[in-house]
Amino acid sequence: MNVKKSLVGTFVLLMGLGLSSFTDDDRNFQISKNLDLLNSIFKELDMFYVDSLDVEKVIQSSVDGMLSSTDPYTEYYPEEEESTLKEMTTGKYGGIGAAIRYYEAKDRIAIIEPTEGMPAAEAGVKAGDIILSVGGKEMVRGDMKPQDFSSKVSEALRGEPGTSFVLKVLRPLKNDSTVMEFKVTRKSIRTNPIPYFGMVRDSIGYLTLTGFTENCAKDFKKALISLKQQGAKSLIVDLRDNGGGSLTEAIDIVNYFVPKNQEILVTKGKLKQAQNSYKTQNEPLDERIPLVVLVNGSSASASEIVSGSLQDLDRAVIIGSRTFGKGLVQTIRPLPYNATLKVTTSKYYIPSGRCIQAIDYAKKNADGSVARIPDSLTTVFHTAAGREVRDGGGIRPDIEVKGDKIPNIVFYLMNDDLIFDYATQYCLEHPTLSSIGELKITDADYEAFKKLVKSRNFTYDRQSEKMLKTLKEIAEFEGYMEGASEEFKALEKKLSHNLDRDLDYFSKQIKSYLAEEIATRYFYQRGRAMERLKEDEDLEKAIEILKDPVRYHQILSAPEAKTTDEVAAAAVSSETKR
């Protein structure tokens, strides 16, 4: 990017944010004064500072400083990052269709997962391949940070659809490795938003939606029609770990289950153009099919529009854990010199009238931190049938299922590529796998994994040891150590690091992550989704509810009015507890 253009463009951006929209004289003066000061400070620094300034870096720091006072979703994209923004909103890019990551053991970039049916997979590239060169250019890190190195390789792999290049990789073999070359032709890559759908039990259909990218509602419609043709009489929609995306795609999906002209969303912002009402535009595909939506703490934005709207309209039972709580809407604003600003312009309100935004970014603490709105400050709203729901904290499921937390050891096993490396080793020893049902991590397999872990001298941080050390320091500082020294010694002995014990104690969770990684090697994202369903508490609870029509309708019905005697009894009970 031209430095002078960047500088001018940035100050045009700064001025454009304020001067044209304010009528209050004092506010206009404050804006003009501070922009003038900012401009003058930069000129003085550029002229007199002892070292030469990196203009791009200084201006970017100014922009970052401004945006840090807003929210995490308001972001500036310079011209060279336009493709990143486009991919985020459309799910499309030109490339080979493969996820990559820095691989510390080789100080190179590894193929993590080729996308099914895309150029890399079609050419024969596999997960575990280490990238040596792209189009004749060797891919080495040098003094780059791993993240920058990954970006460099990613940029080299991407390009105009139809262009070809030779990809050279180092492929691990059972007892060695070999260099392989593949001719790969780039194409327009679109991430599949529905990696798996199918029948999970009797007449119960299931589909997982991973993102609300462009045209995902059409993919959803095809999957829904296919499931109904397969005999689905009820449906489970999995929005867990779906971070959101297009607002209009979300409304179109809700429309498949609710009548035409139903208001789904109202947006409210500072400017008139940010205030809109969104209604369903078409006749529904199926207004009566029993429906369960699965959510968790990573279900956000458009996922919350779908789950929250269906909850407010008493159209679906929501199962899982409380969602993320993002009730903000972003708009793409063009800037000079092909730059872009993604800016939060409004909040959205679902059919009950509630906004589920969990954090008020306008009320930051002195240190810049923010906190979720406490439940005690949230407001009660009501669904169409009269059920109580609340604002200010995401979507609370109708039935909460508390899943297992990821053990600390699993995080480190994944971070050190041990689960990834074992999956590579497993696939070398098992060239084919006929079905997901055939995949099972046996005791012998797990022993082989443990052997790999020990051979790498694996270590990890144990939170219990850290907390005990902190407690010991506090006890010594406050003078309690002398009387508690024996107890501390006993506790230290019990909490001493024991890798064998930890690998055995958390074997169930570790095996599940191993199986997911291995399933992805054979059946891509479809395999990962299917493997996750084998022991899924949320799914089992959804099936239980859908197989019990009476309970399903009770959950979605208005609470029964209490009789005078019941109200009196409740009052007496309350007084007794006091």
Among 533, 536, 543, 529, residue whose Cα is nearest residue 317: 543
What are the residue ranges of helices labelled H in 124-215? 146-157
For every residue of 330-362, DSSP letters joined together read EEEEE-GGG-EEEEEEEEEE-TTS-----B-TT
* Dist CA 527 CA 253 (whole Å): 24
Token output for 33: 């004064």
Residues annotated catalytic, as ranges: 301, 312, 326
**Residue 483: how many other CB atoms lie within 10 Å:** 9
State which H helix or E strand residue 320 sits in.
strand 317-320
Encoded amino acid at 417, one letter: D
| Distance spanning both ends of the chain, measured CA to CA | 69
Q: Token digits for 45?
A: 């620094």
Nearest residue to 313 (alpha-carbon basis) of 563, 480, 556, 543 = 556
Beta bridge partner(s), residue 201: 204
Instruction: Report residue 189 as tokens.
Output: 């890559």
H or E element that contains 179: strand 177-185
Beta bridge partners of residue 164, listed in sequence order: 185
Q: Residue 318 half-sphere exposure, CB side, CA atoms within 13 Å?
A: 27
Structure tokens at 528: 């990962």
Q: How are beta strands 328-334 and 340-349 bridged, if at all? A: antiparallel
Say if residues 314 and 288 touch (Cβ distance below 8 Å).
no
